[in-house]
Amino acid sequence: MSKKINLTLKVWRQKNCKTPGAFETYQAREIDTAMSFLEMLDFVNEMLTHEGRDPITFDHDCREGICGSCGAVVNGQPHGPLRGTTLCQLHMRHFKDGQTLVVEPWRAKAFPINKDLSVERSSFDRVMVAGGFISVKTGQAPEAHAIPVPKEAADNAMDAAQCIGCGACVAACPNGSAMLFVGSKVSHLNLLAQGAPEKKTRVLHMVHQMDHEGFGNCSNSYECEAACPKQISVSHIAFMNKEYRQASIP
Amino acid sequence: MFSNSSIFKKQVVAFTGLLLIFFIFTHLGGNLFIYAGPGVFNSYAHKLHSVGPLLLLPRTLLFIIFVIHITFTCLVVIENIKARGGHKRYSMQKSVGNRSMAESIMPYSGLYIFVFVIFHIIDFAFANQHGVRSFLHGRSYGLYGIVFNSFKDPVYDLLYIFFICFLGLHLCHGVQSLVQTSGFRPKWASVIKMISDYFALLMILGFSSIPIYVYILSRP
Ligand code: HEM
Ligand code: FES
């Protein structure tokens, strides 16, 4: 059963990465609790547009929790208070009538603000370009059973492959570190036979690019794991630490 | 590429941290000789010193390890402040997981250890072994006397224990953290966390027991 609630929103508004931003307060009335967080923002934006004001910019695409486009820090927590969920899959029934919600963009040096809640995450793309791929021969698809993969490696690689690259790990990390993102990608590819030929260069190049983009170092606070909408384990960070050490020793 | 990467720096911090832990552990072992009385305690201190110039090597090594640990953590901490985009980040900051207090204060507990170590070295290691501070009942008791006279003072004891608690907090996060940084995270990671906590507690109790013991002993 859905019901209607009233909320006070304090939303970060910023024109672009060069001009300083500030919070603006809006009253979101008659919010249906069956709405997702993004639908609630759409609703508020409609109101703002009617009033002739600039709507709130936020990133979104699939709205099914699979693309990794959406995300904002709600009351100090990336993707809001519900664990294992993206912002688009967070529904308003998890909030109380009369509650105040502080909505901020991901904040990190490597994620400059585009506008309002939208941040530039192309630093992630450049990390992927540095080594997040495998090289295969073109031609016919190989026989699926030609390369046996141990069950444990397959399971771990699948867990790591769940990463949708939303950046919540960076937003949650007290050091703005991207180790969970990069660790997942390294694990996903290095664990499988298909990724083995470029195993060493992959981890070296991706970590190099990660540092170059200005992400921080890992202090093992494990906030990333808790914030990850796909609940990816920090064991992938440990795996990357090991892979990196082994790749560095000639 | 290897030399200035984030992971390399953290692994240096972890490795030097591990070596410092070995030192702390043996240091506590040595200190506990105080329970055996002035004779044994002084002869332990004396044996250590009688190695003479040979002691210079481990001491220098220890000093270098300490300096490397501090240098690399400073680099790491400065980078982290820059990476999160300034000091004040979110207007509302809330831990998502169970971020431990010990982890969040690592730079501060480290700083407290640093201040303490400097004072501690001047206070005990550089003290005149047969000076006035070593006198008990009108006779020099060597290092034992110095330790005894210092720990007689309850204010000194409380301060000492205060600093030891920061060492404990540093180790509480540090031990399990260095395992993760070194690239090991077995299924029983929670056991490692537990070992880390108990090790830290053991160090706090071990080091703090000495001033408490001396204080009680010095009461008439
Ligand atoms: C007996 C002395 C010390 C011991 C046994 C020790 C041990 C450790 C250990 C094991 C770690 C964890 C390494 C990792 O996670 O990879 C660590 C981290 C750290 N240490 Fe120390 N340490 C000592 C002294 C110091 C001092 C004097 C400072 C600073 C002035 C310091 C600052 C730090 C900082 C800031 C970290 C966290 C780095 C990070 O995770 O980002 N430590 N220490
Ligand atoms: S919009 Fe695709 S994950 Fe939220």
ipTM over 0.90: yes
Residue with tokens 């694990």: A187
What are the pLDDT digits (tens) for A131-186? 999 998 888 888 888 888 999 999 999 999 999 999 999 999 999 999 999 999 99
DSSP collapsed to 3 states, B14-81: HHHHHHHHHHHHHHHHHHHHHHHCHHHHHHHHHHHHHCHHHHHHHHHHHHHHHHHHHHHHHHHHHHHH
- Is A174 close to B82, i.e. CB distance below 8 A? no
B87 lies within 8 A of chain A by CB: no
- DSSP per residue, A149-160: --HHHHHHHHHH
Mutate to test the interface with B, among A83, A152, A221, A228 (most CBs of B within 10 A): A221
Is residue B144 classed as helix, strand or coil in its secondary structure? Answer: helix
The domain that contains B32 carries what CATH number?
Answer: 1.20.1300.10
Residue closest to B127 by CA, chosen among B141, B110, B106: B141
* Chain B residues within 8 A of A243 when measuring between CB atoms: 183
- Is A222 close to B2, i.e. CB distance below 8 A? no
What are the pLDDT digits (tens) for B98-125? 899 999 999 999 999 999 999 999 998 8
Q: How far apart are alpha carbons B103 and B83 in whole angstroms? A: 18
Q: How far apart are alpha carbons A162 and A169 in whole angstroms? A: 14
Mutate to test the interface with A, among B7, B175, B190 (most CBs of A within 10 A): B7
Query: Is CATH 1.10.1060.10 the right assignment for the domain spanning A122-248?
Result: yes
Report how many domains make up chain B.
Answer: 1
pLDDT-derived band at A95 (thresholds 50, 70, 90) equals very high
* Chain B residues within 8 A of A232 when measuring between CB atoms: none
Owning domain of residue B133:
2-218
> Helices marked H in chain A — which ranges?
37-50, 122-131, 151-160, 168-172, 179-190, 199-212, 223-227, 235-248
pLDDT-derived band at B85 (thresholds 50, 70, 90) equals confident
Is residue A12 classed as helix, strand or coil in its secondary structure? Answer: strand
Q: Is the pLDDT assigned to residue B1 strictly greater than 50?
A: no
Query: Quick one: tokens of A93?
Result: 């029934």
Contact between B134 and B143 (Cβ < 8 Å): yes
Q: Is the pLDDT assigned to residue A52 strictly greater than 90?
A: yes
Of ligand 1's atoms, which has the minimum distance to the CA of residue B182? 16
Q: What homologous superfamily is domain A4-114 in, according to CATH? A: Beta-grasp domain (3.10.20.30)
Contact between A5 and A95 (Cβ < 8 Å): yes
Query: What is the identity of the amino acid at A69?
Result: S
* Chain B residues within 8 A of A108 when measuring between CB atoms: 83-85
- Chain A nearest-CA distance from B204, in A, is 23
Query: Quick one: tokens of A5?
Result: 């609630």
Q: Is the pLDDT assigned to residue A113 strictly greater than 70?
A: yes
What pLDDT does residue A236 have? Answer: 98
Residue with tokens 């002739």: A52
- DSSP per residue, A119-171: E--HHHHHHHHHH-------SSPPPTTSS---HHHHHHHHHHTT-----HHHH
Show me where the domains of chain A are located: 4-114, 122-248
